Structure 1
Amino acid sequence: MAKNILVIGGTRYFGKLLVQRLLRAGHRVTIATRGYAPDPFGDRIGRIRVDRRNEHAMRNAFRELSFDIVFDQMCYSPLDAAISTRVFAGKVGRYVMTSTIDAYRELAPREAAFREGDLPVLAQRIDTVYPWHDPARAIECYVSGKVQAEAYLERDGSLPLATVRLAHVLGGPEDFTGRLAHYVDLVRLRGTLHYANAAARVSFMEAQEAADFLVWAGMQEFRGPVNAACDGALSALELHARVAALLDETPRSLKVAAQAPGVLSPFDFATPLALDTARARALGYRFGHTDDWLDDAIRQHDLAFV
């Protein structure tokens, strides 16, 4: 049955893919953005121009509206979460917050893959003083902001919440992060990869599957956090070696101290950061493997390099 769906932030990368899939499935979709980025959807969607960090604007924009599902791609802090509870409580059938694998980075290191319950969300301290909406601090507060946003929503309890903790998303022509491109460029320039731990594997997923999983999660009834990742975690050293092998180049690497400032590459951690996806499997979702898509993603970035 077609649903009335709001996507907060659906104009780039896998947010755009999410909207495409929802439209394809016949749902009525509205996107809420600040209106700075164009989208390709024409008159197939509704649009609400609003800054989701501005509570007054959000209240006015959604005062008379309700939705079957809200996909919140832009909830980056407990302040954002608080705005959502005050704007959407009692007006949505399901609220899906996009969270991140990085939420586990604040936990004690471990070799085993992280399960959802390893992060004690309800025990997290919520900082009410920190300037969460200061754009100069967006990078430094990303991890703590996501964790505390989850904590606020769980503790408040007024929204029918599912939290999707996505692995690091790679691939696709709109990958603006530059993280996979870093390895492609390094190999093509015959530079040296500095790495901390050859065995510190990290979970990944492709942008298409990130969108697929979000759509699936939105149509389910479970509550709480769920991990999303492809099988086949890789360390930074393994990712670099795979890029080199595919491009028929010799990988050059050098082990360095984990705390070496300014030399480590994306996805290079002192300890593993992999996700256990048993909960998603138990709920009925089957993830693919990095082998299914990674080589194509590398080739795309290699074409961009050339």
Structure 2
Amino acid sequence: MPKHSLVIGGTRFFGKLLVQRLLRAGHRVTIATRGYAPDPFGSRIERVRVDRRNEHAMRNAFRDATFDIVYDQMCYSPLDAAISTRVFAGKVRRYIMTSTIDAYRGLESTGRPLRESDLAVHAQRIDTGYPWHDPQRATESYIAGKVQAEAYLVRDGSLPLVTVRLAHVLGGPEDFTGRLAYYVDLVRQGGTLRYANPQARVSFMEAAGAADFLAWAGAQDFTGPVNAGAEEPLSAYDLHARVARVLDESAHSVQVAQAGGSPFDFAQPLVLDTTRARALGYRFGHTDEWLDDTIRHHDLAFI
């Protein structure tokens, strides 16, 4: 049955792919955007030009609107979460917040893949005094902001909440994060990877897989947090070696004491347990199915 879906943040990376999938499924799609980034959808979608972080503007933009599903790709802080509750409570049947594997970063290692219940969002302190919308603090506030946004939404309870904790997403040339490009450039330039723990594996998924999962989650009726990631995690050391092999280059690396020398270089593993999603009927692919092609696309993009 066609639904009316609102996508907040649907003009780039896997948000754009999500919109494509919703249109393909016959949904009526509206995107909320500040209007700075173009999109390829033409008259197939409706657009609401609004600053997601301006509560007054959000209230005015959606005063009389109702949606079957809201996909919030831009909920980065408890302030954003509070705006969502005041704008969408009672007006949406399903609210999906796109979160991240990084929400688990502050936890002590359990020696096993991370389950949704390992992150005690009810116990999270919400910092009401922090300048969450200061653009100069966007990087430093990212992890705490995501966790506290989820905590706010859970405690408020006014939205039918699903929190999708995505593995690190690797995409093609539209991947604005530059994380996979770091390894492609390092290998092509003959540089040396500095890594801490070759066993500190991390869960990944491709951009198309992230969009597929979000579209699927919108069509279900479960609530609460759910992990999403491809099978076969990789460490920074593994990823660097994989890039070198795919590009037929030598991999130069040296082990160091402190983690963080490159993207995804962690002291401890950060692997998602996807049991809940699989029990609900979703089947994740394997990194071998897409990673090599993704590496090649990045290489072509940066020649």
Q: CA RMSD in A?
A: 0.8
Identity of aligned residues (%): 77
Structure 1's unaligned 5+ residue stretches are none
Shift of 1:302: 1.3
2:97 match: 97
* Matched AA of 1:201: R
Structure 1 consecutive aligned stretches of length 4 or more whose deviation exceeds 3 Å: none
Give the secondary-structure state (helix, strand or coil) at the position aligned to 1:151: helix
2:285 match: 288
Shift of 1:111: 2.6
* Matched AA of 1:241: A
Measured against aligned partners, the alpha-carbon deviations of 1:91-113 in whole angstroms (never above 9, x if no partner) come to: 00000000000000011123311
1:163 match: 163
* Matched AA of 1:19: V
2:231 match: 231
Give the secondary-structure state (helix, strand or coil) at the position aligned to 2:164: strand
Preserved CA contact (<8 Å) 1:31 1:45: yes
Preserved CA contact (<8 Å) 1:75 1:146: yes
1:116 match: 116
* Matched AA of 1:139: T
Matched, 1:267 2:264: yes
1:111, 1:265 → 2: CA distance? 23
2:60 match: 60
Preserved CA contact (<8 Å) 2:13 2:171: no
2:245, 2:31 → 1: CA distance? 41
2:26, 2:302 → 1: CA distance? 38
Give the secondary-structure state (helix, strand or coil) at the position aligned to 1:96: strand
Shift of 1:44: 0.6
Moved more, 288-297 or 107-116: 107-116
1:152 match: 152
1:34 match: 34
1:196 match: 196
1:142 match: 142
Measured against aligned partners, the alpha-carbon deviations of 1:52-110 in whole angstroms (never above 9, x if no partner) come to: 11111010000010000000000000000000000000000000000000000011123
1:4, 1:298 → 2: CA distance? 35
2:76 match: 76
Preserved CA contact (<8 Å) 1:196 1:257: yes
Shift of 1:305: 2.7
Figure out how many residues of one structure are paired with residues of the other and give that number.
Answer: 303
Structure 2's unaligned 5+ residue stretches are none
Shift of 1:304: 1.9
* Matched AA of 2:280: L
Shift of 1:247: 1.4
Give the secondary-structure state (helix, strand or coil) at the position aligned to 2:105: helix
Moved more, 263-272 or 76-85: 263-272
